[in-house]
Protein backbone atom coordinates (compact mmCIF):
# COMPACT_ATOMS: atom_id res chain seq x y z
CA UNK A 1 0.00 0.00 0.00
CA UNK A 2 1.32 3.42 -1.00
CA UNK A 3 2.10 5.79 1.87
CA UNK A 4 0.00 8.81 0.92
CA UNK A 5 0.35 12.33 2.27
CA UNK A 6 -2.66 14.10 3.84
CA UNK A 7 -2.90 16.35 0.79
CA UNK A 8 -2.93 13.35 -1.56
CA UNK A 9 -5.67 11.69 0.50
CA UNK A 10 -7.65 14.94 0.47
CA UNK A 11 -7.30 15.05 -3.30
CA UNK A 12 -8.56 11.48 -3.53
CA UNK A 13 -11.53 12.34 -1.34
CA UNK A 14 -12.31 15.39 -3.47
CA UNK A 15 -12.14 13.25 -6.61
CA UNK A 16 -14.52 10.72 -5.06
CA UNK A 17 -16.97 13.48 -4.16
CA UNK A 18 -16.81 14.80 -7.70
CA UNK A 19 -17.47 11.37 -9.22
CA UNK A 20 -20.42 10.80 -6.88
CA UNK A 21 -21.90 14.26 -7.33
CA UNK A 22 -24.63 13.27 -9.77
CA UNK A 23 -25.76 10.34 -7.67
CA UNK A 24 -25.60 12.37 -4.46
CA UNK A 25 -27.69 15.16 -5.94
CA UNK A 26 -30.27 12.63 -7.12
CA UNK A 27 -30.49 10.77 -3.82
CA UNK A 28 -29.97 13.68 -1.44
CA UNK A 29 -27.48 11.67 0.62
CA UNK A 30 -23.83 12.27 1.57
CA UNK A 31 -22.64 9.33 -0.54
CA UNK A 32 -24.12 7.74 -3.66
CA UNK A 33 -24.30 4.35 -1.95
CA UNK A 34 -27.70 2.66 -1.92
CA UNK A 35 -28.50 -0.17 0.41
CA UNK A 36 -29.85 -3.09 -1.58
CA UNK A 37 -33.42 -3.95 -0.61
CA UNK A 38 -33.31 -7.38 1.07
CA UNK A 39 -36.58 -8.87 2.30
CA UNK A 40 -36.63 -9.37 6.10
CA UNK A 41 -33.20 -7.68 6.28
CA UNK A 42 -33.70 -4.16 4.93
CA UNK A 43 -36.14 -3.07 7.60
CA UNK A 44 -36.35 0.14 9.64
CA UNK A 45 -33.22 -0.35 11.74
CA UNK A 46 -30.76 -1.14 8.97
CA UNK A 47 -32.32 1.33 6.51
CA UNK A 48 -32.15 4.17 9.03
CA UNK A 49 -28.57 3.25 9.97
CA UNK A 50 -27.47 3.37 6.32
CA UNK A 51 -29.11 6.76 5.79
CA UNK A 52 -27.74 8.12 9.07
CA UNK A 53 -24.24 7.05 8.02
CA UNK A 54 -24.46 9.01 4.78
CA UNK A 55 -25.70 6.28 2.46
CA UNK A 56 -29.21 5.88 1.08
CA UNK A 57 -31.24 3.20 2.81
CA UNK A 58 -33.99 1.38 0.92
CA UNK A 59 -36.85 -0.41 2.65
CA UNK A 60 -37.71 -3.83 1.23
CA UNK A 61 -41.50 -4.09 1.18
CA UNK A 62 -41.48 -7.72 0.02
CA UNK A 63 -44.92 -9.23 0.56
CA UNK A 64 -46.04 -6.60 3.10
CA UNK A 65 -49.61 -5.37 3.05
CA UNK A 66 -50.11 -1.66 2.35
CA UNK A 67 -50.96 -1.11 6.02
CA UNK A 68 -47.79 -2.87 7.15
CA UNK A 69 -45.71 -0.85 4.71
CA UNK A 70 -47.13 2.38 6.10
CA UNK A 71 -46.11 1.32 9.61
CA UNK A 72 -42.58 0.51 8.47
CA UNK A 73 -42.14 3.82 6.65
CA UNK A 74 -43.31 5.74 9.70
CA UNK A 75 -41.07 3.68 12.00
CA UNK A 76 -38.07 4.33 9.75
CA UNK A 77 -38.75 8.04 9.69
CA UNK A 78 -38.76 8.01 13.49
CA UNK A 79 -35.16 6.75 13.37
CA UNK A 80 -33.72 9.08 10.74
CA UNK A 81 -34.25 12.52 9.27
CA UNK A 82 -32.11 11.58 6.26
CA UNK A 83 -33.72 10.52 2.97
CA UNK A 84 -34.50 6.87 2.24
CA UNK A 85 -36.43 4.98 -0.42
CA UNK A 86 -38.88 2.10 -0.68
CA UNK A 87 -38.51 -0.95 -2.92
CA UNK A 88 -41.77 -2.38 -4.31
CA UNK A 89 -42.11 -5.72 -6.11
CA UNK A 90 -43.92 -5.44 -9.44
CA UNK A 91 -45.59 -8.85 -8.90
CA UNK A 92 -47.28 -7.63 -5.72
CA UNK A 93 -51.07 -8.03 -6.18
CA UNK A 94 -51.64 -4.62 -4.52
CA UNK A 95 -48.79 -2.79 -6.26
CA UNK A 96 -50.78 0.37 -6.97
CA UNK A 97 -52.00 0.51 -3.36
CA UNK A 98 -48.38 0.17 -2.22
CA UNK A 99 -47.44 3.10 -4.45
CA UNK A 100 -50.25 5.13 -2.92
CA UNK A 101 -48.88 4.44 0.56
CA UNK A 102 -45.41 5.63 -0.45
CA UNK A 103 -46.82 8.82 -1.97
CA UNK A 104 -49.11 9.60 0.95
CA UNK A 105 -46.20 9.10 3.35
CA UNK A 106 -44.00 11.48 1.38
CA UNK A 107 -41.43 8.89 0.24
CA UNK A 108 -39.12 10.70 -2.16
CA UNK A 109 -37.75 7.71 -4.06
CA UNK A 110 -39.63 4.57 -5.15
CA UNK A 111 -37.81 1.55 -6.56
CA UNK A 112 -39.80 -0.86 -8.74
CA UNK A 113 -38.12 -4.26 -8.92
CA UNK A 114 -38.78 -7.87 -9.84
CA UNK A 115 -39.89 -7.41 -13.43
CA UNK A 116 -40.88 -4.88 -16.08
CA UNK A 117 -42.80 -2.14 -14.22
CA UNK A 118 -46.38 -1.66 -15.46
CA UNK A 119 -47.09 1.68 -17.09
CA UNK A 120 -49.85 2.48 -14.60
CA UNK A 121 -47.40 2.17 -11.70
CA UNK A 122 -44.83 4.35 -13.49
CA UNK A 123 -47.44 7.03 -14.16
CA UNK A 124 -48.70 6.96 -10.58
CA UNK A 125 -45.21 7.38 -9.09
CA UNK A 126 -44.35 10.18 -11.50
CA UNK A 127 -47.62 12.07 -11.03
CA UNK A 128 -47.26 11.68 -7.27
CA UNK A 129 -43.98 13.60 -7.31
CA UNK A 130 -41.62 10.80 -6.26
CA UNK A 131 -38.46 9.90 -8.12
CA UNK A 132 -38.63 6.49 -9.80
CA UNK A 133 -35.76 4.01 -9.91
CA UNK A 134 -35.99 0.79 -11.95
CA UNK A 135 -33.72 -2.13 -12.79
CA UNK A 136 -32.40 -2.59 -16.33
CA UNK A 137 -30.91 -6.00 -17.27
CA UNK A 138 -30.03 -4.96 -20.84
CA UNK A 139 -29.34 -1.84 -22.90
CA UNK A 140 -32.57 -2.04 -24.93
CA UNK A 141 -34.67 -2.19 -21.77
CA UNK A 142 -32.64 0.60 -20.17
CA UNK A 143 -33.44 2.88 -23.10
CA UNK A 144 -37.11 1.87 -23.01
CA UNK A 145 -37.35 2.66 -19.29
CA UNK A 146 -35.73 6.06 -19.80
CA UNK A 147 -38.24 6.84 -22.57
CA UNK A 148 -41.07 5.85 -20.22
CA UNK A 149 -39.96 8.48 -17.72
CA UNK A 150 -37.88 6.54 -15.20
CA UNK A 151 -35.62 8.92 -13.26
CA UNK A 152 -32.71 6.55 -12.56
CA UNK A 153 -31.60 3.00 -13.26
CA UNK A 154 -29.87 0.24 -11.37
CA UNK A 155 -27.93 -2.29 -13.42
CA UNK A 156 -27.39 -5.39 -11.33
CA UNK A 157 -25.04 -8.16 -12.37
CA UNK A 158 -25.50 -11.88 -11.82
CA UNK A 159 -22.90 -11.73 -9.01
CA UNK A 160 -25.59 -10.23 -6.77
CA UNK A 161 -27.60 -12.10 -4.15
CA UNK A 162 -31.30 -12.89 -4.33
CA UNK A 163 -33.08 -12.61 -7.67
CA UNK A 164 -30.57 -12.13 -10.46
CA UNK A 165 -30.29 -11.70 -14.20
CA UNK A 166 -28.04 -13.76 -16.50
CA UNK A 167 -25.27 -11.21 -17.17
CA UNK A 168 -22.36 -10.15 -14.97
CA UNK A 169 -21.96 -6.53 -13.89
CA UNK A 170 -18.63 -6.36 -15.71
CA UNK A 171 -20.44 -6.89 -19.02
CA UNK A 172 -23.56 -4.87 -18.17
CA UNK A 173 -21.44 -1.85 -17.24
CA UNK A 174 -19.66 -1.95 -20.57
CA UNK A 175 -22.93 -2.41 -22.43
CA UNK A 176 -24.97 0.27 -20.68
CA UNK A 177 -22.84 2.96 -19.03
CA UNK A 178 -21.37 4.45 -22.25
CA UNK A 179 -24.81 4.71 -23.84
CA UNK A 180 -27.21 5.83 -21.10
CA UNK A 181 -26.42 9.37 -20.03
CA UNK A 182 -29.87 10.91 -19.66
CA UNK A 183 -30.44 9.54 -16.15
CA UNK A 184 -28.17 8.46 -13.28
CA UNK A 185 -27.16 4.80 -13.47
CA UNK A 186 -26.23 2.92 -10.29
CA UNK A 187 -24.33 -0.36 -10.47
CA UNK A 188 -24.80 -3.43 -8.28
CA UNK A 189 -23.59 -6.99 -7.94
CA UNK A 190 -20.39 -8.32 -6.42
CA UNK A 191 -19.27 -4.98 -4.95
CA UNK A 192 -17.51 -5.34 -1.62
CA UNK A 193 -14.58 -2.90 -1.64
CA UNK A 194 -14.09 0.79 -2.28
CA UNK A 195 -11.61 0.34 -5.12
CA UNK A 196 -14.36 -1.31 -7.15
CA UNK A 197 -16.74 1.52 -6.35
CA UNK A 198 -14.19 4.06 -7.62
CA UNK A 199 -13.56 2.09 -10.80
CA UNK A 200 -17.25 1.97 -11.73
CA UNK A 201 -17.65 5.65 -10.93
CA UNK A 202 -14.82 6.41 -13.33
CA UNK A 203 -16.63 4.33 -15.96
CA UNK A 204 -19.63 6.63 -15.64
CA UNK A 205 -21.76 5.15 -12.88
CA UNK A 206 -23.54 7.70 -10.70
CA UNK A 207 -23.19 5.48 -7.65
CA UNK A 208 -23.44 1.93 -6.39
CA UNK A 209 -25.84 -0.39 -4.61
CA UNK A 210 -24.65 -2.91 -2.01
CA UNK A 211 -26.64 -5.55 -0.18
CA UNK A 212 -24.47 -8.44 0.97
CA UNK A 213 -21.91 -6.11 2.54
CA UNK A 214 -24.55 -4.75 4.96
CA UNK A 215 -25.94 -8.08 6.18
CA UNK A 216 -23.28 -8.32 8.90
CA UNK A 217 -23.76 -4.73 10.02
CA UNK A 218 -24.17 -4.40 13.77
CA UNK A 219 -27.51 -2.68 13.21
CA UNK A 220 -28.82 -5.46 10.95
CA UNK A 221 -31.53 -7.43 12.78
CA UNK A 222 -30.79 -10.69 10.95
CA UNK A 223 -30.41 -13.72 13.22
CA UNK A 224 -26.84 -14.37 14.47
CA UNK A 225 -26.89 -17.73 12.66
CA UNK A 226 -27.62 -15.95 9.38
CA UNK A 227 -24.72 -13.57 9.92
CA UNK A 228 -22.38 -16.43 10.85
CA UNK A 229 -23.22 -18.16 7.57
CA UNK A 230 -22.14 -15.01 5.73
CA UNK A 231 -18.92 -14.75 7.71
CA UNK A 232 -18.09 -18.37 6.83
CA UNK A 233 -19.18 -18.14 3.21
CA UNK A 234 -16.87 -17.92 0.22
CA UNK A 235 -17.67 -16.55 -3.24
CA UNK A 236 -18.00 -20.05 -4.69
CA UNK A 237 -20.58 -20.97 -2.03
CA UNK A 238 -23.09 -18.43 -3.37
CA UNK A 239 -24.70 -20.32 -6.24
CA UNK A 240 -27.65 -19.58 -8.53
CA UNK A 241 -30.76 -21.74 -8.56
CA UNK A 242 -31.50 -23.80 -11.66
CA UNK A 243 -34.58 -23.48 -13.86
CA UNK A 244 -36.13 -26.92 -14.33
CA UNK A 245 -38.54 -26.23 -17.18
CA UNK A 246 -38.10 -23.64 -19.96
CA UNK A 247 -41.90 -23.38 -20.20
CA UNK A 248 -41.89 -22.15 -16.63
CA UNK A 249 -39.49 -19.22 -16.44
CA UNK A 250 -38.34 -18.68 -12.90
CA UNK A 251 -35.93 -15.86 -12.11
CA UNK A 252 -32.77 -17.47 -10.68
CA UNK A 253 -31.92 -16.77 -7.06
CA UNK A 254 -28.34 -16.67 -5.75
CA UNK A 255 -27.89 -18.02 -2.24
CA UNK A 256 -25.41 -19.93 -0.14
CA UNK A 257 -25.77 -23.62 -0.85
CA UNK A 258 -27.55 -25.61 1.86
CA UNK A 259 -30.43 -28.07 2.22
CA UNK A 260 -32.83 -25.24 1.47
CA UNK A 261 -31.33 -24.94 -2.02
CA UNK A 262 -32.19 -28.57 -2.69
CA UNK A 263 -35.67 -28.16 -1.20
CA UNK A 264 -36.39 -25.34 -3.62
CA UNK A 265 -35.74 -27.64 -6.57
CA UNK A 266 -38.35 -30.04 -5.24
CA UNK A 267 -40.81 -27.19 -4.58
CA UNK A 268 -40.30 -25.91 -8.12
CA UNK A 269 -40.98 -29.40 -9.45
CA UNK A 270 -44.23 -29.68 -7.49
CA UNK A 271 -45.48 -26.30 -8.67
CA UNK A 272 -44.70 -27.15 -12.31
CA UNK A 273 -46.69 -30.37 -11.94
CA UNK A 274 -49.65 -28.38 -10.63
CA UNK A 275 -49.41 -26.04 -13.62
CA UNK A 276 -49.34 -29.05 -15.95
CA UNK A 277 -52.47 -30.43 -14.29
CA UNK A 278 -54.26 -27.14 -14.78
CA UNK A 279 -54.50 -26.39 -11.06
CA UNK A 280 -52.48 -23.17 -11.50
CA UNK A 281 -51.74 -20.88 -14.41
CA UNK A 282 -48.11 -19.89 -14.98
CA UNK A 283 -48.49 -16.46 -13.36
CA UNK A 284 -50.00 -18.01 -10.22
CA UNK A 285 -47.23 -20.59 -10.18
CA UNK A 286 -44.57 -17.91 -10.37
CA UNK A 287 -46.25 -16.07 -7.51
CA UNK A 288 -46.15 -19.27 -5.45
CA UNK A 289 -42.42 -19.47 -6.15
CA UNK A 290 -42.07 -15.92 -4.80
CA UNK A 291 -44.03 -16.87 -1.69
CA UNK A 292 -41.83 -19.92 -1.25
CA UNK A 293 -38.69 -17.80 -1.34
CA UNK A 294 -40.15 -15.25 1.07
CA UNK A 295 -40.99 -17.99 3.56
CA UNK A 296 -37.64 -19.73 3.19
CA UNK A 297 -35.80 -16.44 3.59
CA UNK A 298 -37.77 -15.60 6.72
CA UNK A 299 -36.84 -18.95 8.28
CA UNK A 300 -33.17 -18.11 7.82
CA UNK A 301 -33.13 -14.38 8.57
CA UNK A 302 -35.67 -14.25 11.39
CA UNK A 303 -35.67 -17.75 12.87
CA UNK A 304 -32.01 -18.58 12.28
CA UNK A 305 -32.73 -21.83 10.41
CA UNK A 306 -29.68 -21.77 8.16
CA UNK A 307 -30.11 -25.42 7.13
CA UNK A 308 -33.53 -25.37 5.46
CA UNK A 309 -33.98 -21.59 5.11
CA UNK A 310 -32.77 -19.51 2.18
CA UNK A 311 -29.36 -17.86 2.59
CA UNK A 312 -29.64 -15.30 -0.20
CA UNK A 313 -26.17 -13.84 -0.71
CA UNK A 314 -24.07 -12.32 -3.46
CA UNK A 315 -20.65 -13.59 -4.47
CA UNK A 316 -19.10 -10.70 -2.57
CA UNK A 317 -19.98 -12.67 0.59
CA UNK A 318 -16.35 -13.81 0.64
CA UNK A 319 -15.36 -10.19 1.32
CA UNK A 320 -17.49 -10.00 4.48
CA UNK A 321 -15.07 -10.83 7.28
CA UNK A 322 -16.50 -9.25 10.44
CA UNK A 323 -19.54 -7.65 12.00
CA UNK A 324 -19.21 -3.85 11.88
CA UNK A 325 -21.39 -0.79 12.47
CA UNK A 326 -22.85 0.60 9.26
CA UNK A 327 -20.90 3.84 9.71
CA UNK A 328 -17.65 1.85 9.79
CA UNK A 329 -18.60 -0.09 6.65
CA UNK A 330 -19.37 3.05 4.69
CA UNK A 331 -16.29 4.77 6.13
CA UNK A 332 -14.10 1.83 5.09
CA UNK A 333 -15.57 1.73 1.57
CA UNK A 334 -15.17 5.46 0.97
CA UNK A 335 -11.65 5.49 2.44
CA UNK A 336 -10.64 2.63 0.12
CA UNK A 337 -12.17 4.44 -2.85
CA UNK A 338 -10.48 7.75 -2.01
CA UNK A 339 -7.11 6.06 -1.49
CA UNK A 340 -7.46 4.22 -4.81
CA UNK A 341 -8.19 7.47 -6.63
CA UNK A 342 -5.30 9.24 -4.87
CA UNK A 343 -2.87 6.47 -5.79
CA UNK A 344 -3.95 6.63 -9.43
CA UNK A 345 -2.98 10.30 -9.39
CA UNK A 346 0.45 10.03 -7.78
CA UNK A 347 1.76 6.69 -9.04
CA UNK A 348 2.45 7.85 -12.62
CA UNK A 349 4.53 10.71 -11.17
CA UNK A 350 6.53 8.32 -9.00
CA UNK A 351 7.11 6.00 -11.94
CA UNK A 352 8.86 8.78 -13.89
CA UNK A 353 10.95 9.99 -10.96
Residues 230-273 have pLDDT tens digits of 999 999 999 998 877 777 767 788 999 999 888 888 888 888 88
Q: Quick one: pLDDT at residue 115? A: 85
Q: Quick one: pLDDT at residue 41? A: 96
CA distance 216 to 78: 23
Q: Quick one: pLDDT at residue 353? A: 42
CB 151 within 8 A of CB 133: yes
Query: Which residues in the chain land under pLDDT 70?
Result: 1-2, 249, 346-353
CATH 3.20.20.70 domain position(s) in the chain = 6-221+320-347
Q: Quick one: pLDDT at residue 350? A: 46
Burial status of residue 7 (CB atoms within 10 A of its CB: 0-12, 13-18, 19 or more): exposed
Q: Quick one: pLDDT at residue 155? A: 98
CB 52 within 8 A of CB 82: yes
How many residues appear in the chain?
Answer: 353
Q: Quick one: pLDDT at residue 89? A: 93
Q: Quick one: pLDDT at residue 351? A: 45
SS3 content of the chain, % helix, strand, coil (to 5): 50, 15, 35
The helix-helix angle for 282-301 and 224-232 (nearest 10°) equals 100
Q: Quick one: pLDDT at residue 347? A: 55
Q: Name the CATH superfamily housing domain 6-221+320-347.
A: Aldolase class I (3.20.20.70)
CB 329 within 8 A of CB 213: yes
Q: Quick one: pLDDT at residue 272? A: 86
CA distance 292 to 241: 13
Q: Quick one: pLDDT at residue 352? A: 39
pTM of the model: 0.93
Q: Quick one: pLDDT at residue 349? A: 45
CA distance 167 to 140: 14
Q: How many CA atoms lie within 13 A of 143 on its CB side?
A: 6
Amino acid sequence: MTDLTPSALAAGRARLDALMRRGVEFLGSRYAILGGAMTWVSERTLVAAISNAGGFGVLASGAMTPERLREEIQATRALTTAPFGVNLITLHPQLLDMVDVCLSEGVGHVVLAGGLPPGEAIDKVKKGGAKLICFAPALALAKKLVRSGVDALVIEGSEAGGHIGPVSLTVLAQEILPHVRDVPVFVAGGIGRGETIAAYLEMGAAGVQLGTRFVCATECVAHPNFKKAFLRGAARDAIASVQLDPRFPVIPVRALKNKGSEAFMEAQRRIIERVDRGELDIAAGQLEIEHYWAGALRRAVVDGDVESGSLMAGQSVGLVSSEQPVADIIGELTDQAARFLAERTILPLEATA
